[in-house]
Structure 1
Amino acid sequence: MKKEGSQDSLINVILPLALILGLALLLSLNMEGGGESGVTTPLETWLKVIVGYLAAGTEIAAAVVIGAAVIKGITAYLRLLFSRAKQHFDATEAIRLQLGRVLALGLEFTVASDILRTAVAPTRQDILNLGAIVLLRTLLNYFLEREIQQGEQRRLQQRSTIENVG
């Protein structure tokens, strides 16, 4: 049991460090002349236009999802602020966790958008940029998910202590 706990804590340290080092490596690589031939076919041009619209739609979806969650979170917080509830901390933690989950979903949408943008005839530089962006967003998502899990564990512990006392 202790061995599994030490392996989990080791993974929690090594994984973010590996992601940060990978991001730094990708950002340090500067490819000149990305290998683009300059000649594009009509099909490739149409594909770029269609994929551009799909990527823009995905970015809009991410903005709508995140914007709606922010508005919902602010509304819930204001309702909580002006109410006379005794469980103020627990409720604000729930609002924060819910917003964190939606932010993680929004990050997934933005990663999908970046992948779409580099789907048609990418250059080496486009692929390196995509790798750096995906690594950065994966790192953000990792820490966000970790924070959400820790917050949920705190809430469960608080509920169990309240139920044991009551």
Structure 2
Amino acid sequence: MDEWFSPALKLMTRAIEIGGIAVIVLGLLGATIGVIWQVLRGRSGSDAFSLYRSNLGRAILLGLEFLVAADIINTVAIDPTLQSLLVLGGIVLIRTFLSFSLEVEIEGRWPWDRHKAEGERSSRRAT
């Protein structure tokens, strides 16, 4: 089992990494095409730019999720050394900071203020 299991894990890890990169690249292309389309249809530049940033941020977040998943598989199943664990910890810390920053940029508010914004939206709909 060992003779095919390790290469299969390495192949799956590489496929997940490629998927993460593809998500980021395709998200960049899709967001760029979307913003050009919105501007050509008459949307204001600031609105289109805001939409562009949020779409691009979402693509980066999703791509980072794939890349971290590949790193976790690599660290836990393929190369479980203390050095690889420390590298994974650093990557997860950086990814958490990036995720937090991107979410603030996309949503325009702190993550813990989400329930306040949802309450304001529902109260506006009721009136």
TM over 0.5: yes
What amino acid does structure 1 have at the position aligned with 2:33?
A: T
Larger radius of gyration: 1
Alpha-carbon separation, structure 2, partners of 1:52 and 1:93: 39
Partner of 2:63: 106
Structure with the larger helix share: 2
Listed as ranges, the gaps of 5+ residues in structure 1 are 1-41, 157-166
1:138 aligned to which of 72, 78, 96: 96
Provide Cα deviations, 1:72-114, integer angstroms capped at 9, x if missing partner: 1221233344x26152211221121111111111111110010
Alpha-carbon separation, structure 2, partners of 1:105 and 1:86: 27
Instruction: Please give the residue correspondences for 1:151-162 in structure 2 after superposition, counting only pairs within 5 Å.
Output: none
Give % identity.
35
2:21 aligned to which of 51, 63, 67: 63
Q: CA deviation at 1:66?
A: 1.1
1:115 aligned to which of 61, 68, 72: 72
What amino acid does structure 1 have at the position aligned with 2:71?
A: D
Tell whether the 8 Å contact from 2:28 to 2:56 is kept in structure 1 after alignment: yes
Off by >4 Å, runs of 4+ in structure 1:
none
The 3 A distance-change label for structure 1 pair 114 and 86 is closer
Q: For residue 85 of structure 1, give the secondary structure of its aligned residue in structure 2.
A: coil
The 3 A distance-change label for structure 1 pair 64 and 86 is closer
Tell whether the 8 Å contact from 2:72 to 2:88 is kept in structure 1 after alignment: yes
Structure number with the bigger relative contact order (C-alpha 8 A, sep ≥ 6) is 1
Alpha-carbon separation, structure 2, partners of 1:46 and 1:136: 33
Instruction: Check if 1:74 corresponds to 2:32.
Output: yes
Provide Cα deviations, 1:19-57, integer angstroms capped at 9, x if missing partner: xxxxxxxxxxxxxxxxxxxxxxx72x5332111111111
Listed as ranges, the gaps of 5+ residues in structure 2 are 110-116, 118-127
The RMSD of aligned alpha carbons is: 2.5
Matched residue pairs, number?
A: 111
TM-score by length of 1: 0.59
The 3 A distance-change label for structure 1 pair 106 and 138 is same
